[in-house]
Structure 1
Amino acid sequence: MLITSEIVDLDTPTGVMRTYVHRPKQDGKVPAVLFYSEIFQQTGPIERAARFLASHGYAVLVPEVFHELNPIGTVLGYDDAGRDKGNADKFAKDVQSYDTDNRAMIEFLNAQPWYSGKLGAAGFCIGGHLAFRAALQPEVKATACFYATDLHTNLIPNQPGQHSMERVNEIKGELLMIWGKQDPHIPGDKRAELYNRFANIPGLNYTWHEVNGQHAFMRDEGERYDAQVAGIGYQLALHLLGNALK
Structure 2
Amino acid sequence: MSETLSITTPDGAFTAYVARPQADPAASPAPAIVVIQEIFGVNKVMRDICDSLAAQGFVAICPDLFWRIEPGIDITDQSEAEWKRAFELFNAFDVDNGVADIAATIAAVRAMAGVSGKVGAVGYCLGGLLAFLTATRTDADACVSYYGVGLEKHVGEADKLARPLLMHIAEKDQFVPPEAQAVILTALKDHPQIEIHTYVGRDHAFAREGGAHYDAADAAMANGRSLAFFKTNLG
> If the length of structure 2 is used for normalisation, what is the TM-score?
0.91
Report the Cα distance in structure 1 between the residues aligned to 2:133 and 2:20, rounded to whole angstroms: 23
Q: Which amino acid aligns with 2:199?
A: V
**Is 2:208 the counterpart of 1:219?**
yes
Report the Cα distance in structure 2 between the residues aligned to 1:50 and 1:165, rounded to whole angstroms: 28
Q: What is aligned with 1:23?
A: 20
Q: How does 1:139-154 map to 2 (within 5 A)?
A: 139-153=139-153
Q: Which amino acid aligns with 1:8?
A: L
Q: CA deviation at 1:46?
A: 1.8
Q: CA deviation at 1:137?
A: 4.4
**Is 2:165 the counterpart of 1:175?**
yes
Q: How does 1:130-209 map to 2 (within 5 A)?
A: 130-153=130-153, 164-199=154-189, 204-209=192-197
Report the Cα distance in structure 1 between the residues aligned to 2:111 and 2:166, rounded to whole angstroms: 28
Q: What is aligned with 2:123?
A: 123
Q: What is aligned with 1:243?
A: 232
User: Which of 4, 8, 17 is residue 11 of structure 1 equivalent to?
Assistant: 8
> If the length of structure 1 is used for normalisation, what is the TM-score?
0.87
Q: What is aligned with 2:41?
A: 41
Report the Cα distance in structure 2 between the residues aligned to 1:107 and 1:227, rounded to whole angstroms: 34
How many residue pairs get aligned? The number is 230
Q: CA deviation at 1:138?
A: 4.6
Unaligned runs of 5+ in 1: 154-163
Unaligned runs of 5+ in 2: none
Q: What is aligned with 2:218?
A: 229
Q: CA RMSD in A?
A: 1.7
CA deviations over 1:91-125 (Å, ceiling 9, x no partner) = 32332212321232122123222111111110111
Report the Cα distance in structure 2 between the residues aligned to 1:222 and 1:121, rounded to whole angstroms: 22
Would you identify which runs of 4 or more consecutive aligned residues in structure 1 move more than 6 Å? none
8 Å CA contact 1:141–1:172 kept in 2: the answer is: no
